[in-house]
């Protein structure tokens, strides 16, 4: 199955930003959601990493959403734009910039889902470029004090996403690497790793049991700590653990 969308949400109001991010993360069409509290931060994130779509608030101090959309429209490979606002008067400007949808706050789950379907129809493919992270990646380069070392895949117990980097949790320590967790998950899926959460990837062989946390959520227990399992990924995790328990391959 091809990976889902990578989406960036931009809003200067924390409550509104949290809401749109939550609705996006609940969509089965979305793999990753990043957040930015102002257009300048968002533009830096878009320059540093690829996003399929960006959901932009319009009324923001400094550079507003329409101005940001104008800058995005000039990019060679811009993300698909969806505006999210409390006002109607900017709709004409929004569509002139090529926005695929214009959501009124507070956007409902159905309207967000409809906007995502429009995004998918616009995109030629939701699958990111595989050349960025080869499928055969057996080691990950990490920078430390001006030196590069390689962390072997078999050393990694679980991976944690953190902004534009990932943290590789190993028995030798925690190693940050500049890499998308979605790309790493795609590369390592056939090597005994499973996505447990939008921000976590775990080695199947390192999971000793599934247990409930104090809030009633599901976690995968490893020797280096518990890894959260989202409701969206719970079934896949259970199925992969079941297959691993019944395989004769000791690496699994």
Residue ranges in the chain modelled with pLDDT below 50: 1-2, 125-136, 248-252
Predicted confidence at residue 251, as pLDDT, reads 42
Structure tokens that stand for 13 in this block? 């109001």
The answer to the question of residue 189 being in a domain is: yes
Q: Can you give the CATH number for the domain in which 33 is found?
A: 3.40.50.2300
Whole-structure pTM value: 0.49
**Do residues 144 and 115 both lie within one domain?**
no
The answer to the question of residue 251 being in a domain is: no
Distances (CA, A) of 58 to 50, 74, 88, 115, 235: 22, 18, 10, 16, 38
Predicted confidence at residue 165, as pLDDT, reads 85
**Do residues 171 and 104 both lie within one domain?**
no
Predicted confidence at residue 1, as pLDDT, reads 34
Domain count, the chain: 2
**Do residues 118 and 159 both lie within one domain?**
no
Query: Is there a cis peptide before residue 106, judged by omega within 30 degrees of 0?
Result: yes
**Do residues 20 and 83 both lie within one domain?**
yes
Q: Can you give the CATH number for the domain in which 180 is found?
A: 2.40.50.1020
Tokens 């967790």 belong to residue = 181
Predicted confidence at residue 129, as pLDDT, reads 40
Predicted confidence at residue 226, as pLDDT, reads 94
Structural domain that includes position 165:
140-245
The answer to the question of residue 117 being in a domain is: yes
Predicted confidence at residue 131, as pLDDT, reads 38
């Amino acid at each position: 199955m091809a990976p889902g969308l990578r989406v960036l949400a931009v809003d200067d109001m924390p409550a509104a930003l949290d809401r749109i991010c939550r609705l996006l993360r609940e969509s089965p069409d979305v793999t990753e959601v990043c957040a930015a509290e102002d257009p300048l931060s968002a533009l830096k994130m878009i320059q540093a990493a690829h996003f399929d779509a960006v959901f932009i608030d319009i009324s923001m101090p400094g550079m507003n959403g329409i101005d940001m959309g104008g800058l995005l429209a000039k990019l060679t490979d811009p993300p698909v734009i969806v505006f999210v606002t409390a006002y109607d008067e900017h709709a004409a400007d929004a569509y002139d910039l090529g926005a695929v949808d214009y959501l009124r706050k507070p956007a409902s789950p159905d309207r967000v889902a409809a906007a995502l379907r429009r995004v998918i129809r616009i995109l030629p493919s939701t699958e990111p470029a595989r050349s960025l992270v080869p499928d055969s990646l057996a080691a990950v380069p990490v920078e430390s004090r001006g030196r590069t070392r390689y962390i072997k895949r078999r050393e990694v117990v679980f991976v944690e996403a953190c902004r534009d980097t990932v943290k590789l949790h190993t028995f030798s320590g925690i190693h940050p690497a500049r890499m998308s967790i979605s790309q790493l998950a795609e590369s390592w899926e056939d090597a005994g790793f499973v996505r447990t959460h939008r921000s976590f990837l775990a080695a199947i062989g390192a999971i000793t049991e599934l247990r409930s946390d104090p809030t009633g959520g599901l976690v995968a227990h490893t020797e280096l700590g518990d890894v959260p399992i989202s409701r969206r990924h719970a079934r896949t995790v259970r199925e992969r653990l079941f297959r691993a328990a019944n395989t004769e391959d000791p690496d699994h």
